[in-house]
Amino acid sequence: MKTNNVSYQIEYFIKNSSYKKVKGSNNIGLSENSVRSYRSLYRIWQDFELCNGDTIEMSEMNKDIIYKFIYWIVNVRKYSVNYQGQLLKQLKSICKEAEKGGEDVNAYYNYIESYKQRNSDRILITLNSVEIDQLKKIKELSFELENVRKWFLLGLNIGQRISDLLKLKPNNFRKAPNGGKYVNLIQQKTNKLVTIGIIDPLILSFIDNEFPMRIHATEFNKKIKELCRLAGIDQVIKGNKMSSVTKRVAFGMYPKYELITSHTMRRSFATNYFGKIETPILMEITGHSRESTFLSYIGENPNKDAVADVFMERLRRLGNESR
């Protein structure tokens, strides 16, 4: 079997993912989610090669092939803008790793550029405080949906990724001096130890008495839509939704509960507390290392006036102290 074709190099990368250094940290080994995304790239690239009519060697990754791939993921597969950018970023990483391993790789891969949807074009789905109260007030849920609600409300309260949320156990929680609770966890993506405070009486009650049972993320994502429907979160809004027919993301007008995903928890947490709790504190909880990334995540722009106001206030204090 030839070892210098793109499919083989993607497969080789996946097999050795546990030895890869994680960019921006000292961690070794890619996360489960990252490995899963590279497996998706592998399947997508094989489909592309099938349409192209031949296996593509690393040495053949020239401008023509890369432009064909971009055209294919945009116009044939019709992937979302952000997913297109992710695939290109991963493909470039594969080329770079192959080159580092001594393979003959066409130098044009260096010109592959990833991209993302503009902030002004993004549709961010969050739940506000009124909608969260609606979730709290639902009565007579099945045991399964009640379990989902506990996880969902906990996630809305602590702002973590689902991969970290669903791993929590009662021993992650401890009493705080003020009557609340601390939750300690190590974030899978950042490897950061995070401590979050909880004071919501409803959340505290089921942490102490009826801690939610384990559930798979896929099942959780299905059930939270049903949960939000029962809570009356059904306003028709713009959004992107996976079509059950085409298996592609389609833009349209949908009842809001159909657009709710596990990611809604973390983004709602950050959005609802932004401007009420200091941004560095929120970033420490969500795991964002840069304020610009955090603000982009919640669709906010940096408040330059606020920075200037603080600066002027400091100048006035300095002036008064020097008199």
Give the model confidence (pLDDT) of 212-261 as tens digits.
999 999 999 999 999 999 999 999 998 888 777 766 777 789 999 999 99
Segment among 18-22, 98-102, 196-200 with least mean pLDDT: 18-22
Q: Dump strand ranges (E) for 139-272.
A: 173-175, 181-186, 193-198, 236-242, 249-255
Question: Which pLDDT band holds residue 18 (cuts at 50, 70, 90)?
Answer: confident
Cβ(159)–Cβ(266) under 8 Å? yes
Report CA Rg, the chain: 23
More confident position, 313 or 211: 211
**What distance in Å separates the CA atoms of residue 194 and residue 172, rounded to the nearest whole number?**
11
Average pLDDT over residues 191-208: 93
More confident position, 52 or 229: 229
**What distance in Å separates the CA atoms of residue 14 and residue 20, rounded to the nearest whole number?**
10
Residue-level pLDDT at 82: 85
Maximum pairwise Cα distance, the chain? 81
Judge whether residue 78 has pLDDT over 60: yes
**What distance in Å separates the CA atoms of residue 230 and residue 221, rounded to the nearest whole number?**
15
φ and ψ of 286, to 5 deg: -75, -20
Among 40, 34, 88, smallest CA distance to 61 is for 88
**What distance in Å separates the CA atoms of residue 229 and residue 258, rounded to the nearest whole number?**
8
φ and ψ of 253, to 5 deg: -105, 125
Judge whether residue 264 has pLDDT over 90: yes
pTM of the model: 0.70
Question: Which residue(s) pair with 37 in the sheet?
Answer: none
What angle do the packed helices 129-136 and 217-230 form, to 10 degrees? 90
Q: Fill in the amino acid letter for 280.
A: P
Question: Which pLDDT band holds residue 1 (cuts at 50, 70, 90)?
Answer: very low
Q: How far is CA 46 from CA 49, 56, 71, 73, 95, in A?
A: 5, 10, 16, 13, 16
Q: DSSP letter at 20?
A: P
How many residues in total does the chain contain?
Answer: 323
